[in-house]
Structure 1
Amino acid sequence: MFLVLANLFWAGNYIFGKSIVDVMTPLQMTFSRWTIAVCLLFPIAQLIEKPDWRSVFKAWRLILILSVFGVIGYNFLLYEALRFTTSMNAALVNAMNPALIVLLSALVLRERISGKHGVGLLISLLGVLLVLTKGQLSQIIHIDYNEGDLLMLLAILVWSIYSILGRRMAGIPPIAGTAVTALFGLILLLPFAISFGGFNFPLTKETITGVLYMGIFPSVGSFIFWNASIRQIGASRAGIYLNLITVFTAIMSVIMGQTITWIQVLGGGLVFAGVYLTSRMKKPARSDTAAEKLEEQVTH
């Protein structure tokens, strides 16, 4: 149930982000969301983990880099992408993230990709291309893509880099690490928020609801539920539940009156098939293998 709720909240991030992106800039959305999250993450970390905050802050160099990629880069690109594309398309492109992390791990960390993983990557890529080109693959050579879809591709690349770098955070309690990472991100964003009207947006019922949702549920709730779950069933088994993000986004999109084309359904199915093949790793002989550590950091 925790895994279902975690991915439901993440899916809602796409829906609520799309609903207020016309009245709030990506900078405003990112800053507001993590301001709320920081106010909640620190007391929750203290209550649950009781961390040694001094040792957490000693890793400030790595945390600073992770803030740039995870708190600022990914969220800003996600909300910027939602200005130009649908929440459904963004979720479909995001479904390729696990496969991209495996690919980058092979290139950067020299981890081996099996034939099954290679096939999964290709199938996922085909599915994403079908979504991006609306089934007209000839558009690939004409470079005629939706700007939002391309920004979403860049967003998952940034998140993949963040996930790989996050392996170095293995000795830091996850909630405390996220709290400090979000705090550093806010400090970096503050000058830009002041200079570019980060606090000047309409306080309507829609914006307040959207910001509160994004700050509480996907930023705090999903994170705690996710980590509570992997302690019970492990990262490998939990990873397949990430596909629920797109499923829930599709359901929410239909409820809110958006249409889904058969090309999106076909492309999404290929992405799921590719991610499924890529995720079917052999069980490691020891729990401290590189692959297991990477999977744990992806969940963080």
Structure 2
Amino acid sequence: MNKYLVLLLLIFANLFWAGNYVFGEYLVDEMSPLQMTFSRWLIAAFLLFPMAHWIERPKWKSVWKEWKTLLVLAILGIISYNFLLYEALQYTNSLNAALVNSLNPAVLVVFSVLFLKEKMAVSNIIGLLISLFGVLLVLTKGQLQLIFDTSYNQGDLLMLVAILVWTVYSVIGRKTKSIPPITATSISALFALIMMLPVIVFSNNDFNFNLSNQAITGVIYMGIFPSVASFICWNVSLRHIDASKAGVYLNLITVFTAIISLILGHSISFIQVLGGIFVFLGVFLTSKRKKKIKDETIKLSPVAGMVGK
């Protein structure tokens, strides 16, 4: 495949994921985080199962034998991460959420060291500290003397929890390497929908059916583009580029979120820009490892390119 086409696929994947943050910030005014999560994955499931069957042609009996692991992935990657993300967007803006989420690759490397017994160089440690400094700049709005204050933005703190959930999900997801990625995501989505359905039924007061046209458009967008289209673009590109190189493009999520926010009339503060620069620099240093280790880190979960964004 032409290298420029691969680049285009990576750009579109991250552009669609960025849209999830922006649309999510608007949708929280009309939908609860639970409704957003359920609606998004209900739409995605109708697309994923036919795709899995036609493209990957999995041996479904073998896949179902891994139901316990897939159930855990559904709880962590689909329900918990997305719920925390949309809950966070009720208190913070999409750019702040994307900036905090940029710390994810660095945290993933740390967990790889702790639980997968990988080695961490001095440059990795320095990179992690720089990333943390960047996130603290965003959390404290540049007033680092308030680090030990208890008045942090609730949304930013929820995004930190979301990062931890996503990291645990990624480490556990390595156990599903024998299952094709679209298939694994399809089953996880189904489990998540089944678990969320009773809560939806018995809490119908939180389920708004009188949605505006903008909200309906946003839900359809999140069900198709971040959940399915990004996943396809990402995995097709990984067939033609090293995972370690592709991972660098994940930082485009924050860049695109900032651009979309500017187009929609939102302002971007100097502290957000400065914090983002530190986070990106730190992630680069943290991820600067031997090729084999980097590829394994990025590919910890075969569904990592989809569920957690």
TM tier, shorter chain? over 0.9
2:107 matches 1:100 = yes
The equivalent residue for 1:225 is 233
| Deviations 1:19-45, CA, capped at 9 Å, x for gaps | 110110000000000000000000111
The reply on whether 1:182 has 2:169 as its aligned counterpart is: no
Which consecutive unaligned segments of at least 5 residues does structure 2 have?
Answer: 1-7
Question: In the alignment, residue 278 of structure 1 is paired with which amino acid?
Answer: T
* Correspondence list, 1:1-300, <5 A: 1-197=8-204, 199-284=207-292, 292-298=295-301, 299-300=304-305
Segment drifting more, 101-110 vs 17-26? 101-110
Deviation at 1:200, TM superposition (A): 3.1
Bigger mean CA deviation after superposition, 47-56 or 131-140: 47-56
Percent identical: 59
> In structure 2, what residue type is equivalent to 1:125?
L
Provide the C-alpha distance between the structure 1 equivalents of 2:250 and 2:209, rounded to a whole number of angstroms: 33
Q: Do 1:164 and 1:294's aligned partners in 2 also have CA atoms closer than 8 Å?
A: no
User: C-alpha deviations, 1:110-132, integer Å up to 9, x for none?
Assistant: 22111111011000000000000
- Give 5+ residue unaligned stretches, structure 1: 285-289
Which whole-Å CA distance do the structure 1 matches of 2:201 and 2:227 have between them?
23
Instruction: Give the aligned residue type for 1:157.
Output: L
Q: Secondary structure of 1:51's partner? A: coil
Q: Which amino acid aligns with 2:299?
A: E
Change (3 A) 1:178 1:48: same
273-282 or 67-76, which deviates more: 273-282
Give me the whole-angstrom Cα distance separating, in 1, the residues matched to 2:241 and 2:64. Answer: 30
CA offset at residue 109 of structure 1? 2.0
Query: What does the per-residue CA deviation read over 1:156-187, in whole Å, with 9 as the maximum and x for residues that have no partner?
Result: 11001101111001000000100001110101
Deviations 1:213-251 (A, max 9, x none): 000000011111111111110211100000000000000
| Partners of 1:49 and 1:293 in 2: CA distance | 22
Contact 2:134-2:277 at 8 Å conserved across structures = yes
| RMSD of aligned Cα (Å) | 1.2
The number of equivalent residue pairs is 295
Q: Deviations over 1:175-209 (max 9, x none)?
A: 01000011101011111111112643323201110
Letter of the aligned partner of 2:296 in structure 1? Answer: K
**Aligned AA for 1:179?**
S
Whether the aligned pair in 2 keeps the contact of 1:23 and 1:201 (CA below 8 Å) is no
SS of match in other structure, 2:291? coil
Query: How far does residue 75 in structure 1 lie from its aligned partner after superposition?
Result: 0.1
Cα offset for 1:291?
5.1
1:67/1:185 contact within 8 Å kept: yes
Conserved? CA contact 1:167–1:294, under 8 Å: no
**Hey, what does 2:5 align to over in structure 1?**
none
The ranges of structure 1 where at least 4 consecutive aligned residues each deviate by more than 4 angstroms after the TM superposition are none
Tell me the SS of whatever aligns to 1:69. helix
Distance 1:7 1:292 in 2: 19
The answer as to whether partners of 1:94 and 1:153 remain within 8 angstroms in 2 is yes
SS at match of 1:142: coil
Q: TM-score, normalised by structure 2?
A: 0.93
CA positional deviation for 1:296: 1.3
TM-score between the two structures when normalised by the length of structure 1 = 0.96
**Greater shift in the superposed pair: 50-59 or 247-256:** 50-59
> What letter is aligned with 1:274?
G
1:108, 1:136 → 2: CA distance?
34
